Amino acid sequence: MQPITRLFCTSALLACTTAALGTNADTQAREQWHLAIQNGYEMLAAEADELASVTTGYCTAPMPDSRPALNDAWLDAFLAWQRVRFVDFGPVENNNLSWQFQFWPDPKNLVARKAKYLLGLAAPVNGDVISQSGVAVQGFPMAEYLLFDEQVNRGENALPAAKSCEVLVAVTRHIAANARDLADSWTSFQQHYRDTGQYRDTTIKAGMTALEILEERRLAQPMGLRGNGKRNPYITDAWRSGNSLMAVEATVAGLEKNYLPGLTTLLESRGSGDLAQRIHKQFDRVAENFPDAHIPMAAALGDDDQFRVLQSLYVDISQLTTLINDEAAVALGVVRGFNSSDGD
C-alpha cells in the first residue's frame, strides 16, 4: 500500500471510530438522563402522594401540632418538583403539565384572585372544578397560598376552615395525580427518547434554559440587577412560604444529579474532560454558598450582609451558567435558539 493511500485509510478509520464513539456516548448519555429523570419523577410522585395524604388527614382531624407536618409535606413535594423542573420536553409538555405544577411567573397575582373566587363558591370544590379552573389553581402555588399567605392565615379562611380544606384537598390530589401520570408517561417514553438522536441536544438545551431562567429571572430580577434596578422579592417563586432560595438550591441540586452525569459523558467522549471537571467544581462552589442563604428572599434583599451572601451566590451561578451555556455548548456543537429563556 502506498504511503498516501495508507494515510487516507488511517484517517478514514479514525474518523469512523470517532463518529462511532460519539454515537455510543450520545446513546449512553440519553440512557443516563432517562434513568435520572425517571428517578426524579418517581420521587416527585411519592412526595406529591404524601402531600395529598397528609392534607386529607389534617383536614379530616385537624390538630394544631399537625400543621407543621402539612407545611413540611408541601415543601418536600415542591422541592422534588424543583429538582426535575429543568425538563421542558416530552410528557411534561402534555396538557401544560409544567404550568399545572407551577404557575409562574404570576405578575397579575392570578393565584390569589383565583383562590378568592374558589373560596367564595357556595358549591363544593372537587377535582372536576380544579381540573376546569385553569393552571393557576392546579399546582404548588395555589397550595402555598392556602398554607402560607399572611392575609389568609389571619382571616376566616385560615386552615382548617372547611372551604379552604376542601380546596386544598382537591388541589393536592390533582398534583398527586399529575405527578403519577408524569412518572408513568416518562417510563413509556424511554424507547423513543433513547432511539431519537435529537433528544441529545434537546436535553442539553433544557439544562441551559433552566440556568438562564435561574440566573436572570429567579435571581437577577428580584435582586434589582435587571429592569428598574429595584429589589423585589415578590416576583420570585415561593415568596409566600419564604422558600425561594431553597427552591433555587433544589433546582441546582437537580441539575447536578439528573443533568450533569449525561453532560459529563458527552464532554469526556469529545476530549473535554477538563471542562467537565471545571463544571463539577463549579457546582460544588454553588452548593457551598447555600447554607448561609436559607432565608426568605425578602430578608436577603433587605439586609446588606445577607445581600452580599446573595450576590456571591449569584456570581457563582452566573459562572456555572457560562461554563455550560457557552463553553460546554460550543464543545458539543449545540447552538442556542434566540432568547431561549423567554418562558418557564
3-state helix, strand, coil in the chain (%, to 5): 75, 0, 25
The pLDDT tens digits of the residues spanning 98-108 come to 999 999 999 99
pLDDT at 227: 85
- Final residue belonging to a domain, choices 196, 218, 233: 196
- Over the stretch 1-17, which tens digit does the pLDDT of each residue have? 554 444 344 444 333 33
Q: Is residue 290 part of a domain?
A: yes
Same domain, 156 and 299: no
Residue 216 and residue 100 in one domain:
no
> Which triple of cell numbers denotes residue 104?
409562574
CATH of residue 162: 1.20.1420.20
Count of domains forming the chain: 2
Question: What is the reported pLDDT for 212?
Answer: 98
Same domain for 182 and 236, yes or no, is no
pLDDT for 292: 74
Q: Do 106 and 223 have their domain in common? A: no
Same domain, 137 and 216: no
Within-domain flag for 1: no
Tell me whether residue 3 is in a domain. no
Verify that 31 and 175 share a domain, yes or no. Answer: yes
Whether 11 maps to a domain, the answer reads: no
Identify whether residues 48 and 117 lie together within a single domain: yes
Final residue before a domain boundary, out of 196, 229, 264: 196
Judgement on whether residues 261 and 160 belong to the same structural domain of the protein: no
Residue among 134, 131, 79 nearest 103 (CA): 134
Which among 196, 211, 233 is the end of a domain? 196
Q: Do 295 and 165 share a structural domain?
A: no
In angstroms, the Cα distances linking 310 to 212, 229, 273, 279 are 17, 16, 30, 21
Looking at the structure, tell me whether residues 273 and 210 fall in a common domain.
yes
> What confidence score (pLDDT) does residue 19 get?
43
Q: Is residue 76 part of a domain?
A: yes
Cα–Cα nearest to 332, from 204, 193, 210: 204
Q: State residue 22's pLDDT score.
A: 54
Question: Who contacts 3 (Cβ-Cβ below 8 Å, separation ≥6)?
Answer: none
Domain boundaries, position 244: 197-344
Query: 263 in a domain, yes or no?
Result: yes
Question: 14 lies in a domain?
Answer: no
Q: Are residues 192 and 240 in the same domain?
A: no
Low-confidence stretches of the chain (pLDDT < 70) are 1-23, 293, 337-344
Residue 320 sits in the same domain as residue 338: yes
Please provide the size of the chain in residues.
344
